Amino acid sequence: MNIEQKHIAQHNDSLISAHNRKLAYLKEDFPQHDLERAIQKLVDFQIAIPSWALGTGGTRFGRFSIIGGEPRNIEEKIEDVGLLHQLNASSGAISLHIPWDIPQDVAKIKEVAGRFGLAFDAVNSNTFQDQRDAAHSYKFGSLQHVDKAVRQQAIAHNIEVIKQGDKLGSKALTVWLADGSCFPGQLNFRRAFENTLQSLEEIYVQLPPDWKMFVEYKAFEPNFYSTTIGDWGQSLLLASKLGNQAYTLVDLGHHLPNANIEQIVSLLLMEGKLGGFHFNDSKYGDDDLTTGSIKPYQLFLIFNELVEGMDAREMNHAKDLGWMIDASHNVKDPLEDLLQSVEAIMLAYAQALMVDRPALNSAQQRNDVVRAQEILQHTFRTDFRPLVAEARLRANAALSPLALYRDLDYRNQLIRKRGKNTTSTGL
Ligand code: PSV
Ligand code: MN
Ligand code: MN
């Protein structure tokens, strides 16, 4: 299914005068050059959508399949991302999770993705669930396991995922392990870490030369006493030992409460070891809520460090890191939720681009704490949504993607096509 360009044009016509008025306010207050630079960076910026977030999610207490019209296979998942990309021109990639996704007909999958101008971002392996007919169980871990045969099975799976991703044009493997322990004494920490490193080394040597490995960390869950890659220190240690194709991946929901994520981001970037993100938001743990829905200021502060650090290293904002969402939806239409997440990320990026950086640097040099805070909060509290909308307009997308999605009654169109009782992931 496709959105006709005439619908986008009609929608934009109906909003254009209000949009121009809001943009004009910004033009009065900020230099034209800074605004133009930000708009171009926003046009270029793309965020990958996780294939597993396109259907209704669930918790361990249940799953309510209330939406309907969810994608039934990988091609329909790609079509859904294509729809988002048509609406916002900022969702130009999909991240697959194997074996929740089984890319069987590679030519067809590439054809569907090509139709919507989508790329394949990092492929994710899964050794946190036992697969049907598998010889060994991951109950006591995968790459860390005390039994070499179990480790070997998990290594072979990761290598298979690289092969599948390579056929599609992916350029990165994300490894997230549930490995750890639930009780003191269950695990020899050192041996678990060494086994994990050795296993990752066997996977690492199979990476094509232009690939990256993202080592994702998470403080707890499903193990509740120790997690073998539990924080950025452990991930960075592994990535450093593995080599220059290995990086740390920051999932915003994977920290202990009150962690200073923006500081972690800035140091990883400084060390050249920041691989990318799983964006989401949380109040308590790995809540996987809509990005920017709980802590938008934190999201802005993270982007503030990114813009500062990437400019200092002369990195390409759009291409040099993996920008991905990792979310789950229990009460919202997943597509609406993803539109909100992308919007929040773009806005945080726009705000960060508009920070008066020379003034901030100077305030920091003078230890002018009050001025530094004023600079950041002034930018955060200025309404830069028109910049994000303008970027969409220039990329032939919708001024208000969510409004157009609702106006077109798109969910009901999907339900009519795919049916009411659909499920999409292996969750
Ligand atoms: C684990 O909590 C995680 O963040 C990893 O990225 C997994 O791949 C994903 O969630 C699965 O939903
Ligand atoms: Mn994640
Ligand atoms: Mn997670």
Ligand 1 near 251 CB (within 6 A): yes
* Cα first-last separation, the chain: 26
Give the Å distances, CA to CA, from 353 to 40, 92, 281, 368. 11, 21, 21, 22
Q: 102-128, pLDDT tens digit by residue? A: 999 999 999 999 999 999 999 999 999
Q: 322-378, pLDDT tens digit by residue? A: 999 999 988 999 999 999 999 999 999 999 999 999 999 999 999 999 999 999 999
**Percent of the residues in the chain that have a pLDDT greater than 90, as a whole number:** 94
Is the per-residue pLDDT at 424 higher than 80? Answer: no
Model pLDDT, residue 342 = 98
Q: Whose CA is nearest to atom 8 of ligand 1?
A: 176
Is the per-residue pLDDT at 425 higher than 60? Answer: no
Average pLDDT of the chain, as a whole number: 96
Is the per-residue pLDDT at 227 higher than 60? Answer: yes
Nearest ligand to the C-alpha atom of residue 175? 1
Q: Whose CA is nearest to atom 5 of ligand 1?
A: 176
Is the per-residue pLDDT at 20 higher than 50? Answer: yes
State in Å: Cα 141 to ligand 1 middle: 15
Q: Whose CA is nearest to atom 10 of ligand 1?
A: 326
Domain residue spans of the chain: 47-354
CATH of domain 47-354: 3.20.20.150
Is the per-residue pLDDT at 184 higher than 80? Answer: yes
State in Å: Cα 117 to ligand 1 middle: 26
State in Å: Cα 254 to ligand 1 middle: 9
Model pLDDT, residue 63 = 82
Model pLDDT, residue 427 = 46
Is the per-residue pLDDT at 243 higher than 50? Answer: yes
Model pLDDT, residue 147 = 98
Q: Whose CA is nearest to atom 7 of ligand 1?
A: 176
pLDDT range class, residue 71, cuts 50, 70, 90: very high
Ligand 1 near 52 CB (within 6 A): yes
Model pLDDT, residue 413 = 95
Is the per-residue pLDDT at 225 higher than 80? Answer: yes
pLDDT range class, residue 423, cuts 50, 70, 90: low
Is the per-residue pLDDT at 2 higher than 90? Answer: no
Atom of ligand 1 lying closest to residue 249 CA:
6
Query: pTM of this prediction?
Result: 0.97
Model pLDDT, residue 330 = 87
Nearest ligand to the C-alpha atom of residue 281? 3
Least confident of 8-17, 19-28, 411-420: 411-420
Phi, psi of 274 (to 5 degrees): -85, 120
